[in-house]
Structures are given as structure tokens and as C-alpha cells.
Amino acid sequence: MKVKKRRRVKLSKRAGAILTLAVTLAVTLCVGYLGLNGTLLDNRGLYRLLPWLPTPDVERWPPSIALGLDLKGGMYVEYAAATGEEMHAEDIDFDVLVENTIGIMSDRLVGKGYPEATVSRLGAVSIRVEVPDMPDPASLLDFISSPAKLEFRDPEGNVFMESRHLKTADPAMDAYRQPAIAIQLNEEGAKLFADMTANSIGKELTITLDGETLMASTVNTPIPGGSVLISGSFTPERVQNIALQLRSGALPLQLHQDKLDTISATLGIGALSAIVTAAAIGILLVFVYMALRYKVSGLIADWALCIYIILMFLLVAVVPGIRLTLPGIAGIILSIGMAVSAYCIIFERMNDEVLAGRPALYAVRMGFKNAMTAVLDASIAIIIAATVLLIFGAGGVQSFAATLLLGTLTSMFTAVVIGRFLLNRIVRIFKNSALYVPGFSTKASVKIADGEAK
């Protein structure tokens, strides 16, 4: 009776392993399908899960993965930042001013309809702006680099209010249904404007933006409340731009354009298709090698690598601020190589245990245990290097560092968690130790036989 009970327990473990692997395979195939095709999330078609796995067909490129300048085309410009003369005598933190300038320029780009654009610091005193897929570079550059310094001048031409007194600004229409800018002053600005208009009846007040007169109007009555309508000969686009600039705020630093370049989308798209095709062929060859070299273990590694690729591109799609560039693709491919090397180290340690005559389940456990130090040390070294590049690099270097860092973390997870999970189940189904020995070893079967005999 005891023998039958043990046999029944062994069968249930094997059946449990088969069921677990079947469910895991079904989930992998399902998520992979969603990654390639996406799906609607409701019957009305209002919500959809966008695909995130790339294909060699660039016309079907997943919209959830943002592309950089070298792939999508666009423009990049570098500005040298400097403080104005009025700031030289003040004790002002230049780094804070640079960060504020970057924030204002980013807000202007988002408001203008370029959410994929990036503004980053370059070195100590420079700012780099990258805008993919931009039809009119000149007007956009003028828009984002304009100081947007708003000034209210009294009848003598003296400035009595400026941008810091502004609360908000929006496009509007004047009494003649012409485009205008409606601004709302903060509490301090509202009081200053009310007092100035009360003391300037019959006189002219002027509102300027970067030295250009927006409106010069004679005051007829005091204007309390802080609401001001700026009207004139404005086009709707001009009104939109001024309102966006005023809402984002005046630039605290003076910007001088150092470098400007545009990149054609044609070359990038062609390179993207070629790189995705080459990467697919390379990954397929790796899969074949792993299956031939490590047999059942290699097939499990291929499965885990498929899960890794699905997770990796999902993270690229959902993590904010990541845009796929040519260096970024190189970082992904390099991280795939790191994942493969981790499995090779683990399988060689497993091979040592199998050749010593240990059971397959024990070999898997000891293989992971003995290989973890080498795998973690290599991964941590790459994480440190990628983090340094991400912090101090710029442009393509940052893209490479971001994908390499993300890929290394993902490969550690898939190797340590998913790979171990799959192997621990597969050895409950296939217990023949010869199935886990490298296929190119000529003495493997003899050593296994000797070990099992002992």
C-alpha cells in the first residue's frame, strides 16, 4: 500500500507540472498575440490595447512604441544658456534656472502638440531639444526659445508689472469677434493694475511681449478684478502661441542657438526595417543553437527568452520617456545577449551536477545556486555602467543606456524567476539526465552512466 501511495504522489506531481506548463504556454501565446495585434477592450471600440511587439513591416509598426529622431525623422537643436545682465549681481542658482528653463520649454512643446519631444540638459550650460516628425522647424524653434517676457508699461514708459504677475492666459474673442488673449492677473498684479488704471485716466498704457507692442490703449475707467483682454491684429495661430507662451512662463535664461540639424525619416525607416529583420534572424539562430547545444534546457531557455522579449518591449512601450532609437535597439539586442549568457552559465553549472551523477531536479537547483554569483555580478556591473550613462549621457547615449538598463533588469527577472520556474517543472516530466547535458559533448553519456552506476 505504501508503494502505491508513493507512486500516486509522483504521478500527481508530474501531472501538476504538465498542467502548470500548459497554462504557462497558453498565457505566453495569448500575451504574444496581444503584443503583435492588440485588442479592443470593450464592445463599443472606445478602448483598445495597442500592440507593442515590433515587426519588420514598418507600416505596421506598433504606435505604442515611440521612435526617436534617427528612426522617425525630425530636428534637434542645441542651445547655450546664459543669465541676463540683471541676474549677474544676484545670488542665483544656475542649475535651478536651467531646470526651470527645461520645464518651460517642455510645457510649450506639449501644448503645441509634440508630446514625444524631449528637452534635456547637455553638459554644464547647454540644452538639447529633440522634436520628431516636425513640418515647420523655424516657427517652432522661435516659439520654444522665445523669452516670452510680458511687460506692462505706464504712460512714461516705465515697467510696473511683468510676467510674474500673470496667473493664466487663454485665447478669446473681443467685442468684434476678432482673436484676442484673455489674461488673468494674480492677486498682487490685480491690485497693481487696478491702481495704475485708476491713476491713468485719459492716458495710454502699453502691453509688450519681448519688446513687441501687443496693445497700447487709452484708459477710460479703472479696471479692477485682474482680468485683461489684449486685442489687436492677431491671427488665431498667433493668439494660440502667445497664450501658450504666457501660460508656460517666461524663460529665466537667455538661449543662444549653437547647433541645428534635421534628419530625414526615409533613412531611419529603412534602417529600422533592416535592423528588425536582422535582429529576428539573429534571435532565431540563437534559439536553434540553444536547443541543439542544451537540448531540453535549451528549449526552456528559448521559451524564457520569448517571455523576456514580450516583457521587454512592453516595458519600452509603457515606461515614460523611452523613445526607441538605433542605439536603443542596440541596447535591447545587447541585453538579449546578456540573457543568453546567463542561461549558458546556469546550464554549464547544471551540466557539472548531471555529469557527477546527480538527479536532474537536484542538478537544476544546484545549477542556479552555483551560477547566481556570476550572473548577478555581471548584471550589477552592467546596471552601474548603464545608470552612469543614463545620468551623464545625452541623446542616443541616453537611449542606449535606458534600454540596456531596462533589458538587464528584465533578463535578471526572467533568468532567476521564470527560467527556474520552467526548469523545475520540466524535470518532473522528463527525468532522464542525458536530456540536460550539452549535445556537443562526446563523453557525456559515459560519464552519466558511470555517475548513475555509482
Mean pLDDT within 113-139? 80
Q: What is the CATH number assigned to the segment(s) 74-146+252-263?
A: 3.30.70.3400
Q: What's the pLDDT at 269?
A: 65
Q: At the fourth CATH level, which superfamily is domain 264-453?
A: Multidrug efflux transporter AcrB transmembrane domain (1.20.1640.10)
Q: Which residue has the higher pLDDT, 433 or 202?
A: 202
Boundaries of every domain in the chain = 74-146+252-263, 150-248, 264-453
Once rounded to an integer, what is the mean pLDDT over residues 262-272?
66
Instruction: Yes or no: say if 395 and 281 are a contact pair by the CB < 8 Å rule.
Output: no
Of 155-159, 249-253, 323-327, 450-454, the poorest mean pLDDT is in 450-454
Ranges 23-27, 41-45, 241-245, 430-434: which has the least confidence: 41-45
Per the prediction, the chain carries an average pLDDT of 82
| 454 pLDDT above the threshold of 70 | no
Distance CA 324, CA 61 (A): 12
**Residue 354 in this model has a pLDDT that exceeds 90:** no
Please give the pLDDT value at position 305: 92
How many Å apart are CA 164 and CA 249, to the nearest integer? 8
Please write the tens of the pLDDT for every residue from 406-418: 999 998 888 888 9
* First CA to last CA distance, the chain: 30
Percent share of the chain, pLDDT over 70: 88
Its CATH class, for the domain covering 150-248, is alpha beta
- As a whole number of angstroms, the distance between CA 86 and CA 35 comes to 55
| pLDDT bucket at 81, cuts 50 / 70 / 90 | confident
446 has a pLDDT exceeding 70: no
Region for 229 from its dihedrals, namely left if φ exceeds 0, alpha if ψ lies in -120 to 50, beta otherwise: beta
pLDDT in tens, 373-383: 888 888 899 99
Q: Is the pLDDT of residue 394 over 70?
A: no
**Top-confidence range, 41-50, 64-73, 172-181:** 172-181
17-25 long-range CB contacts below 8 Å, 24 or more apart?
17/425, 17/426, 17/428, 17/429, 18/429, 20/425, 21/422, 21/425, 21/426, 21/429, 24/421, 24/422, 25/303
Digit-coded pLDDT (tens) for 279-323: 889 889 999 998 888 888 889 999 999 999 999 999 988 887 787
What pLDDT shows up at residue 182? 92
Q: Which residues contact 54 (CB under 8 A, 6 or more apart)?
A: 61, 62, 65, 276, 313
Q: How far apart are CA 28 and CA 336, in angstroms?
A: 18
Digit-coded pLDDT (tens) for 6-62: 554 445 678 888 888 999 999 999 999 998 888 877 666 566 788 888 887 777 788
Confidence band for 254, pLDDT divided at 50, 70 and 90: confident
Question: Among 74-83, 289-298, 442-451, whose mean pLDDT is lowest?
Answer: 442-451
The per-residue pLDDT for 443 is 47
Q: How confident is the model at residue 439 (pLDDT cuts 50, 70, 90)?
A: low
Checking if the pLDDT of 442 tops 50, the result is no
Tell me the mean pLDDT in the region 208-218. 88
- Res 206: pLDDT: 92
| Per-residue confidence (pLDDT) for residue 302, from 0 to 100 | 92
| 40 strand-pairing partners | 48
> Residue 306: what residue type?
C
